[in-house]
Amino acid sequence: MTPTSKPLTKAIVTGHTRGLGAAIVDALRSRGIDVLGVSRSPALPAAQAARRPGGFEEVALDLSDSEALAQWLAGDRLAKFFVGAARALLVNNAGTLGPVGPSSVQPPLEVGRAVALNVAAPLMLSSAFCAATAEVPDRRIAHVSSGAARNPYAGWNIYCATKAALDHHARAAALDAERGLRIASVAPGVVDTDMQAQIRGVDDARFPMRERFEQMKRNGQLTSPEEAAGNFVGYLLSDAFGQTATADIRSL
């Protein structure tokens, strides 16, 4: 590396095929960062693929299947991907709103799937990432968090609990002070994604705050995935990243 060249950066992004995840990949690729996307359905539309020439790989993997994820992580794909990297990034973006409504109406299988996707997968990936990048001098893990991690909402007890788990994981992992590792759980703001549409489609009995999200959509108060991703990636690559274990893009 010459004195004026940038360090080789490589990133893993989960849930990369749509919404915020897709926009994060585009923001990373626009900066020349190699990306490995991990998603249950990785096939990209031609328009998206055209924006990501070279330096982009995909893996088809259902992250809610902890056994399948463990088998994949037992291989050498992560270690091979990060060969030559001076900076390694993991963006745990994949997630689900999970069952909405009070506990009495939540199907146990859906609860289990939400916990597997929202909590087990990012924690498993984080552990494997740290092991695979032990020799990389600059390592960064970003959990995509939510205001729901820090504020309780009726009807969202599963989503609130799983996002809060990521926040506390970041706090505790930061205390381990592993060499070259920065970690933060980052809320990107209220982003105009499929999840927002799902929220607005829930009946009031299950989610009493639905009308608030309807108003935000009507009033143009939702952030576009592109804007949110630009802010998120800018923070991820900055010297400020990891100085606090939890952050909100809107207050930085």
pLDDT at 1 (0 to 100): 44
Query: H helices within 36-141, ranges in order?
Result: 46-50, 66-73, 77-81, 108-115, 121-132
Q: Is residue 136 part of a domain?
A: yes
Name residues whose C-beta falls within 8 Å of residue 184's C-beta, 6 or more positions apart in sequence.
141, 142, 143, 170, 174, 241, 242, 244, 245, 246, 247
Catalytic residues: 159
Distance of CA 73 to the CA centre of its chain: 18
Q: Is residue 48 part of a domain?
A: yes
Nearest residue to 101 (alpha-carbon basis) of 176, 44, 161, 154 = 154
Q: Is residue 203 part of a domain?
A: no
**pTM attached to this predicted model:** 0.91
Whether 246 has a pLDDT exceeding 90, the answer reads yes
pLDDT at 184 (0 to 100): 98
Q: Is residue 218 part of a domain?
A: no
Mean pLDDT along residues 138-156: 94
Nearest residue to 89 (alpha-carbon basis) of 138, 152, 122, 24 = 138
| Domain of residue 159, residue span | 9-189+224-251
Q: Is residue 211 part of a domain?
A: no
Between 44 and 130, name the one with better pLDDT.
Answer: 130
Per-residue burial over 166-194, b if 16 or more Cβ lie within 10 Å, else e, is: bbebbeebbeeeeeebbbbbbbbbbbbbe
N residues, the chain: 252
Q: Is residue 170 part of a domain?
A: yes
User: How far lies 127's CA from each of 109, 123, 160, 234, in Å?
Assistant: 25, 6, 23, 24
Query: How many CB atoms neighbour CB 198 within 10 A?
Result: 12
Chain segment 3-41, per-residue pLDDT in tens: 445 679 999 999 999 899 999 999 999 999 999 999 998
Overall number of domains in the chain: 1
Whether 105 has a pLDDT exceeding 80, the answer reads yes
Partners of residue 249 on adjacent β-strands:
none
Q: Is residue 213 part of a domain?
A: no
Query: How many CB atoms neighbour CB 73 within 10 A?
Result: 18
Q: What is the CATH number of the domain that holds 54?
A: 3.40.50.720
* From 140-149, 176-185, 212-221, the region with the lowest mean pLDDT: 212-221
Q: Is residue 216 part of a domain?
A: no
CA dihedral 117, 190, 173, 122 (to 10 degrees): 20
